[in-house]
């Protein structure tokens, strides 16, 4: 039995019409708590989140998280793996593939949770399971406290979804898409034109409003998908790489809309490959590696925990007085100064008059003192400019990416 009505590219399909069978549901809810595949060395925050979800699932909560998944697991079996080529796989038989490994997560109201990870880490699969486009191998999902299998109507009324691949009606105009979604989400009839125009102008797609979706560029279709997910203010919104292909001004509108929307009782899950976007928009992020949630917390928490500390970048004044010049070995003087100030600092890069040092967290007991010394050295050592910055989220992400490579299959 198939609950789903739409094809894969239908906007209604992409907005949460169930697509799995009763058998899938029964099997999926088995063995929720008895798992043998949870890593022994699971990160403390991930472990804490798993326990938090278990506690919340076990009791009645007045204000439940907007999205809660418990021990979500997805293994594509041999028969589910779609082969896109016509070979007979004589050499390499297709085996099963674990896309999501025992993921437990609770996204609270007022939160934008960033799901980060390499291509193929399992982000989209997680979203597809939450929207019931895919059935989990096991695990539970609640949206606004409503179980998506036993209380599907209530659960999906709360949900907006911007899928990774735009799901639009090709012969319907941009404006009609938005009007239809606004009406479905219960926007009062008289307010629909005003609200639709707000999105059209904010995303700068007014001039394309009366074009059919099939006549629009990829960027315009992306903007439309984002607006469709947001219009009518659903309580929970899943945004799968919403800003891909958007110009900077529209991206700014998207950021502003997200920042303004998910306060109070609403919440969102956002996937993005832009660490800048995650840093700007997400109250918490989680990094997935090979289907597994490896860490989670605020971006500052992850930088403190997994960051390498600080990066000190310095540029000496006078581009021609390079290390090969005859005017004294100023870079050596600078290196000496830096190692005196930070004992464990290491030189990462040195090119002409520009030097970059990596400074461990524990070498910086006082930021105030550090800046005082750097300002003094600026004059004494004739430094044109310097920057002293904390590890970026990108560096934290790359650390996990490195783990992925080292432990690659
Ligand atoms: N229908 C499917 N059949 C078999 N394997 C699949 C299927 N869909 C996804 N996968 C596999 O599951 C893993 C996770 O894929 P998923 O699309 O969730 O990753 P992702 O993190 O969203 O990547 P991206 O950043 O590229 O969107 C990948 O290895 C992918 O090849």
Please report the DSSP string for 204-253 in residue order: T-GGGTTSBGGGS-HHHHHHHHHHHHHTT--SEEEEESTTTT--HHHHHH
Nearest CA to ligand 1 atom 1: 81
Q: Please tell me the CATH code under which domain 308-390 is placed.
A: 3.30.70
67, 115 Cβ separation under 8 angstroms: no
**Residue of higher predicted confidence among 353 and 28:** 353
| pLDDT at residue 235, rounded to an integer | 93
Secondary structure letter of residue 370 according to DSSP:
H
| pLDDT at residue 293, rounded to an integer | 93
Q: Is 117 in the pocket of ligand 1 (CB under 6 A)?
A: yes
115, 270 Cβ separation under 8 angstroms: yes
Mean pLDDT, rounded, for 123-129: 95
Is the confidence at residue 309, as pLDDT, over 60? yes
Q: Is 122 in the pocket of ligand 1 (CB under 6 A)?
A: yes
Distance from Cα 120 to the centre of ligand 1, integer Å: 5
- Alpha-carbon distance 183 to 369, whole Å? 59
CATH 3.30.70 in the chain: give the residue spans.
308-390
Q: Is 165 in the pocket of ligand 1 (CB under 6 A)?
A: no
Distance from Cα 176 to the centre of ligand 1, integer Å: 32
Helix (H) or strand (E) holding 160: strand 159-162
Number of other residues whose CB lies within 10 A of the CB of residue 33: 9
175, 166 Cβ separation under 8 angstroms: no
73, 101 Cβ separation under 8 angstroms: yes
Q: Is 286 in the pocket of ligand 1 (CB under 6 A)?
A: no
- Alpha-carbon distance 28 to 22, whole Å? 10
Q: Which atom of ligand 1 sits closest to the CA of residue 134?
A: 1
pLDDT in tens, 263-288: 888 999 999 999 999 999 999 999 99
Nearest CA to ligand 1 atom 28: 120
Mean pLDDT, rounded, for 146-162: 90
**In this predicted structure, which of 23-27, 151-155, 342-346 has the lowest mean pLDDT?**
23-27
| pLDDT at residue 366, rounded to an integer | 87
CATH fold of the domain at 13-304: Rossmann fold (3.40.50)
**Residue of higher predicted confidence among 238 and 166:** 238
Mean pLDDT, rounded, for 307-324: 73
CATH 3.40.50.300 in the chain: give the residue spans.
13-304
223's tokens? 């903007």
Question: Helices 192-202 & 174-184, crossing angle to 10 degrees?
Answer: 130
240's tokens? 């799968």
- pTM score of the predicted model: 0.80
| pLDDT at residue 16, rounded to an integer | 39
Nearest CA to ligand 1 atom 25: 119
| pLDDT at residue 282, rounded to an integer | 95
């Amino acid at each position: 039995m198939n609950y789903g009505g739409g094809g894969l590219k239908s906007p209604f399909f992409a907005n949460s019409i169930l697509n799995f069978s009763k058998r899938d549901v029964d099997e999926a809810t088995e063995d929720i708590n008895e798992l043998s595949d949870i890593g022994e060395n699971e990160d403390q925050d991930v472990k804490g989140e798993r326990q938090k979800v278990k506690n919340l699932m076990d009791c009645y909560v007045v204000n439940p998280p907007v999205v809660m998944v418990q021990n979500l697991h997805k293994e594509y079996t041999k028969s589910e793996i779609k082969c896109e080529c016509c070979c007979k796989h004589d050499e390499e038989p297709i085996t099963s593939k674990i896309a999501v490994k025992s993921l437990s997560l609770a996204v609270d109201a007022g939160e934008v949770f960033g799901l980060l990870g390499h291509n193929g880490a399992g982000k989209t699969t997680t979203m597809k399971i939450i929207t019931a486009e895919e059935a989990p191998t096991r695990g539970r999902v609640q949206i606004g406290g409503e179980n998506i299998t036993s209380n599907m109507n209530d659960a999906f009324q709360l949900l907006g979804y911007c899928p990774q691949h735009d799901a639009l009606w090709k012969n319907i105009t941009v404006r009609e898409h938005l009007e239809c979604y606004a009406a479905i989400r219960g926007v009062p009839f008289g307010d629909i034109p005003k609200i639709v125009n707000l999105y059209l102008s904010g995303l700068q797609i007014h001039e394309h409003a009366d074009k059919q979706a099939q006549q629009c560029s990829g960027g315009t279709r992306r903007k439309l998908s984002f607006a469709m997910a947001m219009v009518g203010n659903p309580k929970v919104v899943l945004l799968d790489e919403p800003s891909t292909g958007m110009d900077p001004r529209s991206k700014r509108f998207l950021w502003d809309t997200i920042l303004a929307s998910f306060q109070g009782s609403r919440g969102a899950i956002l996937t993005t490959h832009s660490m800048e976007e995650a840093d700007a928009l997400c109250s918490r992020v989680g990094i997935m590696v090979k289907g597994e949630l490896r860490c989670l917390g605020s971006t500052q928490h992850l930088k403190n925990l997994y960051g390498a500390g600080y990066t000190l970048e310095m540029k000496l004044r006078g581009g021609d007085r390079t290390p090969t010049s005859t005017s004294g070995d100023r870079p050596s003087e600078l290196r000496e100064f830096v190692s005196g100030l930070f004992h464990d600092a290491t030189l990462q890069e040195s090119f002409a008059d520009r030097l970059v040092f990596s400074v461990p967290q524990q070498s910086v007991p006082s930021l105030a003192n550090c800046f005082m010394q750097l300002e003094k050295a600026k004059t004494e050592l004739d430094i044109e400019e310097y920057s002293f910055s904390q590890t970026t989220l990108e560096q934290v992400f790359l650390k996990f990416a490195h783990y992925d490579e080292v432990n690659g299959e």
